[in-house]
Amino acid sequence: MNLRLVDIYVWRGKAYLPVLARLESGVFLIIEPVYTAELNVEALLSAVKKVLAAGHPYRPDPTREEMRRRKDPLLAATKARNWKELARTGASYGITWTDKEIRVDMSRLDKRGRWEWDPTKTRIFSLDTPLPDIIAVILEDIQSRSELVK
């Protein structure tokens, strides 16, 4: 299966789009660069295209020690103290391209204050859907969340 992923993290009025490496175990891991975009179609479209162009570089699985010492690229880019701070006042979006469809997932908070995908907001698109249309759906959700558009 040909799988492509783009994650969009919205925090403090900006979008952050990291490149995702594919580890040998099959897991995806945020790596640099992390692109920053204003919350409009043109800026997000440009950033999504950059992430897609970077692809998913293959990396060996990091050791526990390497993960412990690792500086999280998204936290560095946002200057957030931790993921819980990001989740409390931000949102996460995922765009997934498979051989059959394009799927957009949108976050909500779980009972512990962490992001999880909200199944009521999942949107499925055909593969021929223009990228600006997909970004418009994400922007519509962002605009509906008062904590994101202060």
Residue of 12, 143, 146, 7 whose CA lies nearest to 90: 12
CA–CA dist 88, 108 (Å, integer): 10
Query: Each residue's pLDDT tens digit in the chain (150 positions)?
Result: 689 999 999 999 999 999 999 999 999 999 999 999 999 999 999 999 999 999 999 999 999 999 999 999 999 999 999 999 999 999 999 999 999 999 999 999 999 999 999 999 999 999 999 999 999 999 999 999 987 776
Contact 23, 29 (CB under 8 A): yes
* Residue 68: predicted pLDDT: 93
Q: What is the pTM of this model?
A: 0.94
